[in-house]
Amino acid sequence: MSELKKVRVAVVGASGYSGEELVRLLLGHPGVELVAVTSRQYAGRTVGQVFPRFGHWGRARELRFEEPDARRLAELADVVFLALPHGVAAEFARPLLESGRVVIDLSTDFRLRDAAVYEEFYGHAHPAPELLSQAVYGLPELYRERLRGARLVAAPGCYPTSILLPLVPLLRAGLIESDGIVVNSLSGVSGAGRKAELEYLFCECAESLRAYGVPKHRHLSEIEQELSLAAGRRVVIRFTPHLVPVRRGILTTVVARPTAGLGTAGEVFALTGRIEACYRAAYGDEPFVRVLDDKGLPDTKNVVGTNVCEIGWRLDPRTGHVVVVSAEDNLLKGASGQAVQCMNLVCGFAETTGLM
């Protein structure tokens, strides 16, 4: 990619929470020019008017939200980010891809390989099944090589990222059993999007905690798809998401059974070494995954505002389990930061550009 010619990028759904983060990251990205942002409710207003915190950027004072129009976006931009509700994203992806544009989709529309699984979890037929085979699952730590030069990127969900990063290396290495895995996740309220719905009003969720999506949250579809690929056999997990009264951040706790015994001090010592080596091999060189040493467990305050997923773990010889904890910012490593990381790979920029 030439130093002089910037990649022209657009964000569809730029007034939502993940769209806002994309705008912030792309305004500061040295390799791109943000040429268009869309919002139906704010069309005509500048980015600086809608998001006063961006007002110090000259570009934010001149760039105006516009009505979403796929044909116009295809004329203006080389790369288009879709930060739209699922279903709507596919409607934009199809014409943009037909016009030869790169699409980086943050919704669930292209994350599943099998349209029948989509139908099972989303309750309706897939809106563009013919495009599924060309989508690359946008988790760079797993699919880096396929992302280079991809035309359609399906950025993973926030819960899936927080679950796949800790679990995939252990499954691939055969260090844990693929059955009986239990996962609990806690999400900040921005995970639900910037919409006015009763259950997300301040008085409904402040100082209160609740589980939801039990027993079959829609993210199970992509989580089990990717865990099954890692294990080489069908994996079914028990997953319970919770809403917690913070603005952003996800904390996930995974409990799994090691394939090796934990009955003696020697076995504990041996498995400790194998898990350490496994994570070192998987993430030792990764810029956005931080595996903590045996004194630390993840804490969302250390990752909110960053594109980092933190992972920590403990063996529990008393019950014969391994407990792995991860923390990430749902709007960054769980959404927009990861999408920009993918764009960097697609466009040939250094992977950390605009994200450090």
Ligand X SMILES: CC(=O)N[C@@H](CCC(=O)OP(=O)(O)O)C(=O)O
Catalytically annotated residues: 158
User: Of 65 and 349, which has the nearer Cβ to ligand NDP?
Assistant: 65
**Cα–Cα distances in Å, from 61 out to 36, 51, 57, 64?**
13, 10, 7, 8
39 binds, among ligand NDP, ligand X, none (CB under 5 to 8 A by kind): ligand NDP
Q: Does 158 bind ligand X (CB under 6 A)?
A: yes
Q: Which does 241 bind (CB under 5 to 8 A by kind): ligand X, ligand NDP, none?
A: ligand X
Which region, judged by CB under 6 A, interacts with ligand X, from 30-38, 178-186, 187-195, 231-239?
187-195
Among 36, 39, 224, 342, binds ligand NDP (CB under 6 A): 39
Q: How far is the CB of 42 from ligand NDP (least distance, A)?
A: 6
Contacts 24+ apart (CB under 8 A), 311-318: 311/165, 311/166, 311/279, 311/283, 313/166, 313/275, 313/279, 315/258, 315/262, 315/268, 315/271, 315/272, 315/275, 316/262, 317/262, 317/263, 317/268
Interface with ligand X, residue 107, by CB under 6 A: yes
Query: Helices 140-147 and 336-347 sit at what angle, rounded to 10 degrees?
Result: 30
249 binding ligand X? (CB under 6 A): no
Q: Is 249 left (phi over 0), alpha (psi -120 to 50) or beta?
A: left
* Binding footprint of ligand NDP, residue count (CB under 6 A): 30
CB 306 within 8 A of CB 290: no
Element (DSSP H or E) covering residue 66? strand 65-66
Count, residues near ligand X per rule CB under 6 A: 10
Number of Cβ atoms within 10 Å of the Cβ of 126: 20
Please count the residues of the chain: 356
* Tokens 């990619």 found at: 1
CB 238 → ligand NDP: shortest distance, Å?
Answer: 22
Q: How far is the CB of 350 from ligand X (least distance, A)?
A: 27
- Other residues' Cβ atoms within 10 Å of the Cβ of residue 333: 29
Residue 40: name its binding partner from ligand X, ligand NDP, none (Cβ under 5 to 8 Å by kind): ligand NDP
Among 71, 194, 216, 301, binds ligand NDP (CB under 6 A): 194
Residue whose CB is less far from ligand NDP, 194 or 314: 194
Terminal CA-to-CA distance of the chain, rounded, Å?
20
Q: Using the minimum distance from each CB to ligand NDP, give the nearer residue, 188 or 258.
A: 188
Quote the CA–CA distance of 215 and 32 in Å, as a whole number: 42
Q: Given candidates 7, 9, 10, 17, which one binds ligand NDP under the rule CB under 6 A?
A: 17
Q: What is the identity of the amino acid at 246?
A: V
Q: For residues 17 and 42, which CB has a smaller minimum distance to ligand X in the complex?
A: 17
Among 76, 192, 246, 292, binds ligand X (CB under 6 A): 192
Minimum CB separation from ligand X for residue 80, in Å? Answer: 17
Q: Give the type of residue at 111.
A: R
CA–CA separation, 256 and 177 (whole Å): 7
Nearest approach, Cβ of 192 to ligand X (angstroms)?
Answer: 3
d(CA 215, CA 240): 7
What would you report as the CA-atom Rg of the chain, rounded to the nearest whole angstrom? Answer: 20
Among 16, 31, 127, 191, contact with ligand X (rule: CB under 6 A): 191
Binding-site ranges for ligand NDP (CB under 6 A): 13-19, 39-42, 68, 83-86, 88, 106-107, 157-158, 190-191, 193-195, 330-331, 334-335
Binding-site ranges for ligand X (CB under 6 A): 107-108, 157-158, 187, 191-192, 213, 241, 243
